[in-house]
Amino acid sequence: MKILLINGPNLNLLGSRETDIYGNTSLEQIESNLCSIAEKEDCNLTCFQSNAEHELINAVHSAGKNNFNSIIINPAAYTHTSIALRDALSGVGIPFYEVHISDIYKREEFRKFSYLSDIAEKVFCGLGIEGYELALMEAIGSSAKEK
């Protein structure tokens, strides 16, 4: 089973960025924790982060070409702006799980709309970094059922 974890812009700064909102854990720590969970579940987890919209889109396309079972994505600010990322995700047709560390519905107005949520399998929002773990377990569970 192959799962791709995608993190969008500024999430490379986790651990030092707005720690009151996003906490003190770095992206590296999050990824390594998820990789060890995945390994125990016999799942191959690939992690990718970029600050560039086109690179996120290319990563989604390559997941399509390489037959990934599912995608876990925190699109960060592109959540609220990117029709292109939405089109990429619906274009490859791989089930995906949307993660937000903070509760986007309890913040500024402009964060309340997501271009992805209505086509996501599930949205994990406002659960802190635990949202990534829950998304991973959900993705593993549903990919296993498909087999």
64 class by beta-carbon count within 10 Å (0-12 exposed, 13-18 middle, 19+ buried): middle
As a whole number of angstroms, the distance between CA 119 and CA 128 comes to 22
Does 82 participate in binding ligand DQA (rule CB under 6 A)?
no
- Name the minimum Å distance from CB 144 to ligand DQA: 26
Does 74 participate in binding ligand DQA (rule CB under 6 A)?
yes
Does 135 participate in binding ligand DQA (rule CB under 6 A)?
no
The helix-helix angle for 53-65 and 83-92 (nearest 10°) equals: 0
- Residues in binding contact with ligand DQA, number by CB under 6 A: 10
Does 86 participate in binding ligand DQA (rule CB under 6 A)?
no
- Name the minimum Å distance from CB 75 to ligand DQA: 7
Query: Which residues, 6 or more positions from 99, have their beta carbon under 8 angstroms from its beta carbon?
Result: 72, 73, 74, 123, 124, 125, 131, 132, 135
- Among the listed residues 97, 100, 115, 132, the single catalytic one is 100
Considering only residues 100, 123, 135, 136, which one is a binding residue for ligand DQA as defined by CB under 6 A? 100
Considering only residues 56, 104, 135, 140, which one is a binding residue for ligand DQA as defined by CB under 6 A? 104
